[in-house]
Chain A
Protein backbone atom coordinates (compact mmCIF):
# COMPACT_ATOMS: atom_id res chain seq x y z
CA UNK A 1 0.00 0.00 0.00
CA UNK A 2 1.34 3.43 -0.97
CA UNK A 3 1.79 5.43 2.17
CA UNK A 4 3.73 7.92 4.24
CA UNK A 5 4.59 6.49 7.64
CA UNK A 6 5.21 8.91 10.46
CA UNK A 7 6.21 8.02 14.01
CA UNK A 8 5.41 8.46 16.79
CA UNK A 9 1.74 9.41 16.67
CA UNK A 10 1.91 11.14 20.06
CA UNK A 11 4.93 12.45 21.94
CA UNK A 12 5.27 14.24 25.24
CA UNK A 13 8.69 15.54 26.15
CA UNK A 14 10.40 18.16 28.30
CA UNK A 15 12.19 21.32 27.32
CA UNK A 16 15.67 20.72 25.97
CA UNK A 17 15.47 16.98 25.43
CA UNK A 18 16.44 16.18 21.84
CA UNK A 19 13.91 14.26 19.83
CA UNK A 20 13.42 12.90 16.32
CA UNK A 21 10.19 12.35 14.44
CA UNK A 22 10.62 9.81 11.67
CA UNK A 23 9.01 9.91 8.24
CA UNK A 24 9.22 7.29 5.52
CA UNK A 25 7.47 6.94 2.14
CA UNK A 26 7.28 3.93 -0.17
CA UNK A 27 6.23 5.71 -3.37
CA UNK A 28 9.69 6.68 -4.64
CA UNK A 29 8.77 10.36 -4.37
CA UNK A 30 11.51 12.95 -4.85
CA UNK A 31 9.77 15.65 -2.81
CA UNK A 32 9.25 15.45 0.94
CA UNK A 33 8.34 18.14 3.43
CA UNK A 34 7.41 18.86 7.03
CA UNK A 35 4.56 21.05 8.25
CA UNK A 36 3.32 22.17 11.61
CA UNK A 37 -0.33 22.86 12.24
CA UNK A 38 -1.47 25.34 14.87
CA UNK A 39 -5.01 26.57 15.56
CA UNK A 40 -5.89 29.58 13.44
CA UNK A 41 -2.64 29.40 11.48
CA UNK A 42 -3.25 26.44 9.18
CA UNK A 43 -0.27 24.40 8.04
CA UNK A 44 3.08 26.08 7.82
CA UNK A 45 6.04 24.56 6.06
CA UNK A 46 9.12 23.87 8.17
CA UNK A 47 11.55 22.29 5.72
CA UNK A 48 11.37 20.55 2.40
CA UNK A 49 13.59 18.36 0.28
CA UNK A 50 13.63 18.04 -3.48
CA UNK A 51 15.83 14.94 -3.46
CA UNK A 52 18.55 13.11 -1.56
CA UNK A 53 20.98 15.52 0.12
CA UNK A 54 18.90 18.51 -1.10
CA UNK A 55 16.99 20.33 1.63
CA UNK A 56 15.77 23.88 2.08
CA UNK A 57 14.02 26.03 4.64
CA UNK A 58 10.32 26.60 4.59
CA UNK A 59 8.48 29.39 6.35
CA UNK A 60 9.18 28.40 9.97
CA UNK A 61 12.52 26.54 10.14
CA UNK A 62 13.86 27.95 13.42
CA UNK A 63 14.51 25.26 16.02
CA UNK A 64 14.30 22.37 13.57
CA UNK A 65 16.75 20.29 11.56
CA UNK A 66 16.23 17.76 8.81
CA UNK A 67 18.31 15.34 6.79
CA UNK A 68 17.70 13.40 3.59
CA UNK A 69 20.30 10.66 3.34
CA UNK A 70 17.96 8.24 1.61
CA UNK A 71 15.15 8.96 -0.78
CA UNK A 72 12.49 7.29 1.34
CA UNK A 73 13.33 8.88 4.73
CA UNK A 74 13.07 12.46 5.93
CA UNK A 75 13.39 12.74 9.73
CA UNK A 76 12.59 15.92 11.64
CA UNK A 77 14.97 16.72 14.49
CA UNK A 78 14.35 19.04 17.39
CA UNK A 79 17.74 19.55 19.04
CA UNK A 80 16.42 21.48 22.04
CA UNK A 81 12.63 21.52 22.05
CA UNK A 82 10.78 24.44 23.63
CA UNK A 83 7.10 24.80 24.62
CA UNK A 84 6.37 26.94 21.55
CA UNK A 85 7.11 23.87 19.43
CA UNK A 86 4.08 22.13 20.87
CA UNK A 87 2.07 21.44 17.73
CA UNK A 88 0.67 18.89 15.32
CA UNK A 89 3.32 17.89 12.80
CA UNK A 90 2.77 16.41 9.36
CA UNK A 91 5.21 14.84 6.96
CA UNK A 92 4.24 14.79 3.28
CA UNK A 93 5.64 13.61 -0.04
CA UNK A 94 4.83 14.15 -3.69
CA UNK A 95 6.08 12.95 -7.08
CA UNK A 96 6.93 16.53 -8.03
CA UNK A 97 7.76 16.86 -11.71
CA UNK A 98 7.05 13.25 -12.62
CA UNK A 99 3.32 13.78 -12.38
CA UNK A 100 0.92 16.39 -13.77
CA UNK A 101 -0.94 16.07 -10.47
CA UNK A 102 1.60 16.93 -7.78
CA UNK A 103 -0.66 16.37 -4.82
CA UNK A 104 0.84 15.89 -1.38
CA UNK A 105 0.52 12.54 0.34
CA UNK A 106 0.42 13.04 4.10
CA UNK A 107 1.47 10.98 7.05
CA UNK A 108 -0.97 10.51 9.90
CA UNK A 109 0.55 13.30 11.98
CA UNK A 110 2.52 13.58 15.23
CA UNK A 111 1.02 15.45 18.15
CA UNK A 112 3.97 16.86 20.09
CA UNK A 113 3.72 18.40 23.54
CA UNK A 114 6.78 20.08 25.04
CA UNK A 115 6.47 20.69 28.78
Chain B
Protein backbone atom coordinates (compact mmCIF):
# COMPACT_ATOMS: atom_id res chain seq x y z
CA UNK B 1 0.00 0.00 0.00
CA UNK B 2 1.22 3.47 -0.74
CA UNK B 3 2.02 5.94 2.01
CA UNK B 4 3.06 9.57 2.30
CA UNK B 5 4.92 10.80 5.38
CA UNK B 6 5.35 14.44 6.38
CA UNK B 7 7.33 14.54 9.62
CA UNK B 8 7.15 18.29 10.27
CA UNK B 9 3.78 19.26 11.80
CA UNK B 10 4.82 22.91 11.90
CA UNK B 11 7.65 25.14 10.77
CA UNK B 12 8.70 28.76 11.01
CA UNK B 13 10.72 30.66 8.42
CA UNK B 14 11.92 34.23 8.25
CA UNK B 15 10.53 36.32 5.43
CA UNK B 16 12.80 36.24 2.31
CA UNK B 17 14.53 33.08 3.48
CA UNK B 18 14.27 29.70 1.74
CA UNK B 19 12.52 26.78 3.44
CA UNK B 20 12.33 23.04 2.75
CA UNK B 21 9.26 20.99 3.60
CA UNK B 22 9.95 17.29 3.88
CA UNK B 23 8.01 14.50 2.23
CA UNK B 24 8.84 10.82 1.93
CA UNK B 25 6.74 8.26 0.12
CA UNK B 26 6.43 4.54 -0.10
CA UNK B 27 5.22 2.55 -3.07
CA UNK B 28 6.33 -0.49 -5.00
CA UNK B 29 4.77 0.79 -8.21
CA UNK B 30 7.35 2.19 -10.66
CA UNK B 31 4.91 4.70 -12.15
CA UNK B 32 3.60 7.44 -9.88
CA UNK B 33 3.18 11.16 -9.57
CA UNK B 34 4.03 13.44 -6.67
CA UNK B 35 2.23 16.67 -5.87
CA UNK B 36 2.32 19.52 -3.44
CA UNK B 37 -0.78 21.49 -2.51
CA UNK B 38 -1.11 24.62 -0.43
CA UNK B 39 -4.08 25.25 1.85
CA UNK B 40 -4.30 28.81 3.18
CA UNK B 41 -6.48 29.68 6.16
CA UNK B 42 -9.39 30.29 3.77
CA UNK B 43 -9.48 26.53 3.19
CA UNK B 44 -9.15 26.04 -0.56
CA UNK B 45 -6.63 23.59 -1.98
CA UNK B 46 -4.14 25.20 -4.36
CA UNK B 47 -1.97 23.08 -6.66
CA UNK B 48 1.71 24.05 -6.50
CA UNK B 49 3.87 21.56 -8.33
CA UNK B 50 3.95 18.09 -9.89
CA UNK B 51 6.72 15.54 -10.48
CA UNK B 52 6.33 12.32 -12.45
CA UNK B 53 8.36 9.31 -11.38
CA UNK B 54 10.05 9.09 -14.77
CA UNK B 55 10.87 12.78 -15.02
CA UNK B 56 14.62 13.25 -15.23
CA UNK B 57 14.73 16.79 -13.92
CA UNK B 58 13.32 18.25 -10.74
CA UNK B 59 10.13 20.20 -11.28
CA UNK B 60 10.09 23.95 -10.76
CA UNK B 61 7.23 26.45 -10.72
CA UNK B 62 8.30 30.00 -9.96
CA UNK B 63 9.52 30.10 -6.34
CA UNK B 64 8.61 26.44 -5.81
CA UNK B 65 10.86 23.54 -6.64
CA UNK B 66 10.52 19.86 -5.90
CA UNK B 67 13.70 18.13 -4.76
CA UNK B 68 13.03 14.63 -6.08
CA UNK B 69 15.36 11.91 -4.81
CA UNK B 70 14.01 8.67 -6.17
CA UNK B 71 16.43 6.31 -4.42
CA UNK B 72 15.60 7.88 -1.07
CA UNK B 73 11.89 8.09 -1.94
CA UNK B 74 11.75 11.73 -1.01
CA UNK B 75 9.99 14.65 -2.66
CA UNK B 76 10.77 17.73 -0.62
CA UNK B 77 9.25 21.10 -1.49
CA UNK B 78 11.62 24.05 -1.53
CA UNK B 79 10.16 27.54 -1.32
CA UNK B 80 12.65 30.26 -2.12
CA UNK B 81 12.39 33.83 -0.87
CA UNK B 82 9.48 33.19 1.51
CA UNK B 83 6.65 35.70 1.59
CA UNK B 84 4.06 36.37 4.28
CA UNK B 85 1.45 34.95 1.92
CA UNK B 86 3.22 31.60 2.01
CA UNK B 87 1.90 31.03 5.53
CA UNK B 88 -0.39 28.04 5.07
CA UNK B 89 -0.75 24.30 5.43
CA UNK B 90 1.17 22.30 2.82
CA UNK B 91 0.25 18.80 1.74
CA UNK B 92 2.34 16.29 -0.15
CA UNK B 93 0.43 13.72 -2.20
CA UNK B 94 1.13 10.73 -4.40
CA UNK B 95 -0.90 9.50 -7.34
CA UNK B 96 -0.79 5.98 -8.68
CA UNK B 97 -2.37 5.05 -11.99
CA UNK B 98 -2.50 1.35 -12.40
CA UNK B 99 -4.88 -1.25 -13.67
CA UNK B 100 -7.42 1.33 -14.81
CA UNK B 101 -7.69 3.23 -11.56
CA UNK B 102 -6.13 6.27 -9.97
CA UNK B 103 -5.35 6.29 -6.26
CA UNK B 104 -4.28 9.50 -4.59
CA UNK B 105 -2.84 9.50 -1.07
CA UNK B 106 -2.09 12.59 1.01
CA UNK B 107 0.28 13.23 3.88
CA UNK B 108 -0.81 14.79 7.17
CA UNK B 109 0.49 18.21 6.22
CA UNK B 110 3.00 20.80 7.45
CA UNK B 111 1.87 24.16 8.78
CA UNK B 112 4.29 26.84 7.64
CA UNK B 113 4.40 30.23 9.29
CA UNK B 114 6.42 33.04 7.74
CA UNK B 115 7.76 35.57 10.23
CA UNK B 116 8.21 39.21 9.19
Interface residues of A (CB under 8 A from B): 31, 33, 35, 40-45, 48, 50, 56, 59, 88, 90, 92, 94, 96-97, 100-106, 108-109, 111
Contact = CB atoms under 8 A, between A and B. Distances in A.
Nearest to B33: A102
B100 interface: yes
Interface of B: 6, 9, 33, 35, 37, 43-45, 47, 50, 52, 91, 93, 95, 97, 100-109
B106 A44 contact: yes
B102 A103 contact: no
**At the interface, is chain B mostly helix, strand, loop or mixed?**
strand
Contacts, number: 63
B44 A102 contact: no
B100 A50 contact: yes
Nearest to A88: B43
19 contacts: A31-B102, A33-B104, A40-B9, A41-B108, A48-B101, A88-B43, A92-B104, A96-B97, A101-B33, A102-B97, A104-B35, A104-B37, A104-B45, A104-B93, A105-B47, A106-B44, A106-B45, A108-B43, A108-B44
